[in-house]
Amino acid sequence: MSRHEQMTAGGTALPAPVDGASGDKPFAAPGSVRPLEIETTLAGQVQDHLAAGNDHAARDLFAQIVTRQQRRASRIAWHYLRDVAEADEAVQDAFVKAYTHIASFQRHLSFEVWLTRILINGCLDRQKARTRRSRWMLPVADAGRRDQEIIEHATRPADRSPEAQLLAREWRDQLIAEVQKLPDRQRLVFMMCHYADHSTRDVAEMTGLNESTVRVHLFRAIRKLRKAMEGRRHAI
């Protein structure tokens, strides 16, 4: 099922996310409500509407959560599955499961962390099923493409001279190539911390890893990237 198609939960159609919505989290201005808190608040409102029997209002609110979270969830699913179509299915399954079990969500916790745990568990189940079907993994032709999109978005030059933009692009392309060489867990932790702007504690909760383990993966990833980029610079 495409991520632009409607989800169904118990035979009830959920609205598809708004086209063009990135789901990226802007920086919060001083005194403003952080996006994470907004989604947690929306989840609580969904619970209230469902408890009151207002299913239509609940679905509309949950669609806002889908719009805000879909791009980030797709990145995480792809890191685990390395297959665009299967990652899309895993994301849709996670949203359906989250909506179906929204009553069990505890409002004092982070909805994003709760959703991510659902998503990761689903991805792990798919990995196990894939392993049972085959003894080896098929290579994916577009591996690294979404990592590249994330890095390009995060390092895109603005209002620079053509020469500066060219140098920045060359550096970005080199960094993209080195990030793709990292081991899976190091790459996932690095991307979630540096480009999705999550703390090591958040990443630990989302992945089920110990926070100290997350920090080790992050440290090793940064050390490898620094060494690689220094080597490239001296080779020029």
Residue 214: give its domain's CATH number. 1.10.10.10
31: left (phi over 0), alpha (psi -120 to 50) or beta: left
pLDDT for position 185: 86
Q: Kindly report, residue by residue over 29-72, the tens digit of the pLDDT.
A: 434 444 457 999 999 999 999 999 999 999 999 999 999 999 99
Same domain, 128 and 197: no
Rounded to two decimals, what is the model's pTM? 0.55
> Which of the two residues, 168 and 215, has the higher pLDDT score?
215
Same domain, 96 and 151: no
Of 79-83, 88-92, 122-126, 131-135, where does mean pLDDT reach its minimum? Answer: 131-135
> Which of the two residues, 236 and 107, has the higher pLDDT score?
107
26 occurs within a structural domain: yes
What angle, 0 to 180 degrees and rounded to 10, lies between the N-to-C axes of helices 184-194 and 200-207? 130
pLDDT for position 41: 94
The tally of domains found in the chain comes to 2
Look at residues 133, 163, 187 and tell me which one is the last residue of a structural domain: 133
Look at residues 133, 160, 188 and tell me which one is the last residue of a structural domain: 133
Same domain, 119 and 151: no
Same domain, 27 and 128: yes
**Residue 82 lies in domain:** 7-133
Same domain, 96 and 34: yes
pLDDT for position 166: 66
Helix and strand counts by DSSP (H, E) for the chain: 9, 2
Of 25-34, 83-92, 156-165, 206-215, where does mean pLDDT reach its minimum? Answer: 25-34
- Residue pair 55/9 in contact (Cβ under 8 Å)? The answer is no
Q: Is the pLDDT of residue 183 over 80?
A: yes
Residue 25 banded pLDDT, cuts 50, 70, 90: very low
80 occurs within a structural domain: yes
Same domain, 125 and 215: no
pLDDT for position 73: 92
pLDDT for position 145: 53
pLDDT for position 212: 92
Adjacent-strand bridge partners of 9: 12
Residue 168 banded pLDDT, cuts 50, 70, 90: low
pLDDT for position 177: 80
The domain spanning residue 125 has which CATH number?
Answer: 1.10.1740.10
Same domain, 149 and 108: no
Which stretches does DSSP call E strand in 42-192?
none
Mean pLDDT score, 129-138: 54
Same domain, 171 and 77: no
